[in-house]
Amino acid sequence: MQFGIFTIADITPDPLTGKVPTENERLQNMIEQGRLAEQVGLDVFALGEHHNPPFVTSSPTTTLAYLGAQTEKIILSTATTLITTNDPVKIAEDYAMLQHLTGGRVDLVMGRGNTGPVYPWFGQDIRKGIEIAIENYDLLRRLWTEDVVDWEGQFRTPLQQFTATPRPLDGVAPFVWHGSIRSPQIAEQAAYYGDGFLHNNIFWPMSHTKQMVQLYRERYEHYGHGKAHQAYVGLGGQAFMRRNSQDAVTEFRPYFDNAPVYGGGPSMEDFTAQTPLTVGSPEQVVERYLTMADNVGDYQRQMFLMDHAGLPQKTVLEQIELLGTEVVPVLRKELEARKPADVPEAPTHALRVAAAEAENGSFDDAYKFETGDNWTGLRAEDAKGQH
């Protein structure tokens, strides 16, 4: 099972000091968090995508590439890649490029985001969000799996004899998780392709999460990818820890009460009772997260949000160290022990390359000149005899 942290890179004032980090400080802090995550044994670092203040995550590939150059093992992921407002051609090229530069340590969470105005900013209609997500992802898959693509759809200009470059590393595209909190159509889409489904349930009761994951699992089996319990599931999470649980409650309360996403809403006690947020000792976090599989089945990825609500960097780094050294080792051992043998491991590039080679033989990575000619729109063999 994979464990990791994700950030939405919000710029939020510290309610105790009033300090507001600069954009540069926030970006540098994220990189430091990613490096530490690898050092303490976490598997994944993920970055959200937003194009509006107070967030500084408008270019995930740039940030992940920079972090990739400073790490060796950790998987670099997105917490959301906006499949609706990014051009599928650019996604195909950017993330294949990131694959090559990081030795395959890349996957994505496809989503529509939670900021309505982003649609017109990028020339799209929010009322068509689901339709755009479905069409764009279908094109993205073709760009990654077919060397030459002819395509025509509703929401972008047609493609003729187009080859996205570079081609995916080892002939295997990045693994895709489809992220959705409330849209059964996206759970259906994930199941249709046999991709992963990540329910980032940090604001939702487990009863809702259970329903969405169950739908995805049932449809995964319906489409013939395996048994329902073998589908790829990921969850979100939140925690704030101190050795003494009451110290954690006292320290985190002003951050909870003043956070833009919490402040003025339910009490911290009500929120922790209804959602995965756990405020207490590392042992309490372990106890809480051991129950998640009781609701959704054995799953492959558990992510934690650790750096929100204006928490100072020193505190965030302490939280990541506690997560990696005291919480995750116990969760990993206990959850692996209960996992049935036929439930697949969390996807990695190496595992997926091995599966592809077992099915299709070794991949030939020689450069193919007889692919689409992106200067003229013609393939080399079509141009022969025309000069």
Inter-CA distances, 103 with 299, 348, 362, Å: 25, 11, 17
Mind listing the pLDDT tens digit for each residue in 129-165? 789 889 999 999 999 999 999 999 999 999 999 999 9
> What pLDDT, on a 0 to 100 scale, did the predictor assign at position 213?
97
Tokens of 387: 């000069």
> What pLDDT, on a 0 to 100 scale, did the predictor assign at position 72?
97
Eight-class DSSP state of 372:
B
The low-confidence residues of the chain, meaning pLDDT below 50, are 387
> What pLDDT, on a 0 to 100 scale, did the predictor assign at position 387?
45
Contacts of 377 (CB under 8 A, 6+ apart): 160, 161, 162
Provide the Cα torsion 115, 121, 123, 124; round to 10°. 10
DSSP of 280-321:
E-HHHHHHHHTTHHHHH-S-SEEEEE-S-TT--HHHHHHHHH
- Model's pTM, two decimal places? 0.93
Provide the Cα torsion 181, 26, 29, 33; round to 10°. 0
Helix axes 184-193, 129-145, angle to 10 degrees: 20
> What pLDDT, on a 0 to 100 scale, did the predictor assign at position 261?
79
Residue the block writes with tokens 């939280």: 319
Instruction: Return the closest-CA partner of residue 177 out of 205, 201, 199.
Output: 199
Residue the block writes with tokens 């060397």: 147
Domains of the chain: 2-362 (3.20.20.30)
> What pLDDT, on a 0 to 100 scale, did the predictor assign at position 190?
95
Inter-CA distances, 60 with 7, 8, 27, 71, 297, Å: 11, 11, 11, 16, 31
Eight-class DSSP state of 342:
T
